[in-house]
Amino acid sequence: MSINESQKLLHLLHMHHSSFLKSQVAHAIGMEMYIRSKQVNSKEDLASFCHSYVGNYLLYNDAIIIKELFSKLKKNDWDQVLYLAEIYNARKNVLELKKTSRQAGSRFLDRLLSIESSPILSKWSEEIKDRDSLNHYVIVYSLYAFEKGFDLFATIQTYLYFSLTNLIQHAVRAIPLAPKDAEQATLEALAEVDQATELAMTLHLKDMQNNAIGLEISAMQHKYLLSKLFIS
């Protein structure tokens, strides 16, 4: 890895640092019902949840959107960028997940624009003035990553990795699990992150899919809980 590439990687990693507000609590919202009903109650259960979460839910939705956005931005096809944002927004069926993702996108955009000038993000900010429903975290993240010239593979891989670790951190506190179990679950899922990233590089918008029905129903039920462990 060259010095330039190494610096870019650090920059990309910093985008996922906890100092930047993120959206991953949205995914924990769906997991909460599984933890409460004791269906996710052990390291093995958590590994099962992570498997479907990374290898399916994130791969066939967020990862595809990141890849497609890079492709359209490369062609400078702004209409298609807006179309993809529209589709991603419509793809999120559950309102709670939508709101959390938008909230994170909005905070992330504001933070980035407050620390440096970014023509793409400024343009995006103008574009969504009357349509802030499209301002999802993954869209802002992809636009910024493209503008900074981050490698697509690394952009998807780090997104998946930090989504995974964030979910596990939430799970460890809520189940609860020993820290070593969390580390084991994370290390075991690393291969999944790699495989999912490799597969994402071959996928297109038409490959988007939803079969995480259980997660969706859990996220729907979350709204009606009187007390919540995870809120956005």
Partner 1 sequence: MESNKQLQARFQKVNLLDYKGDQPLKIAKADQSHRVFTTYNIDGLNQTTDPISVDLTVKKASNIKLLDTATEKDTRENHSLQFTCNIEEEALLFFNKREIIPVNNSNISQHIKVNVTGDAEFVWSEIVHLNQGSEYHYYSLMEIWTEEHCLAYDPVQFNANEEVLAHHGMTESFPYVASIWYISPNPPFDEWDVQQRLSQAKHHRAGMTDIDGKGILIRWLSTDLTLLKQEVDDVLAFFDEKITDIRKWRV
**Interacting residues toward partner 1 by CB under 8 A:** 30-31, 34, 39-40, 45, 48-49, 51-53, 55-57, 86-87, 89-91, 93-96, 98, 133, 208-221, 223-224
41 neighbors 176 (Cβ within 8 angstroms): no
User: How far apart are alpha carbons 118 and 122 in whole angstroms?
Assistant: 6
- Output 17 or 129, the one with its CB closest to partner 1: 129
Cα distances (Å, whole numbers) of residue 117 to 39, 64, 68, 84, 106 = 46, 27, 24, 24, 16
User: How far apart are alpha carbons 197 and 117 in whole angstroms?
Assistant: 30
- Output 12 or 62, the one with its CB closest to partner 1: 62
Residues 6+ apart with CB under 8 A from 179: 172
Quote the least distance from Cβ 224 to partner 1, whole Å.
7
- Output 49 or 137, the one with its CB closest to partner 1: 49
Quote the least distance from Cβ 56 to partner 1, whole Å.
5
Helices (H), 22-118: 25-36, 43-52, 64-74, 78-91, 95-115
Quote the least distance from Cβ 222 to partner 1, whole Å.
9
User: How far apart are alpha carbons 147 and 117 in whole angstroms?
Assistant: 11
Quote the least distance from Cβ 27 to partner 1, whole Å.
10
Quote the least distance from Cβ 20 to partner 1, whole Å.
26
- Output 9 or 220, the one with its CB closest to partner 1: 220
- Output 90 or 201, the one with its CB closest to partner 1: 90
Quote the least distance from Cβ 166 to partner 1, whole Å.
16
Cα distances (Å, whole numbers) of residue 124 to 190, 221, 232 = 33, 33, 23
- Output 39 or 118, the one with its CB closest to partner 1: 39
- Eight-state DSSP code of residue 203: -
Residue type, 122: S
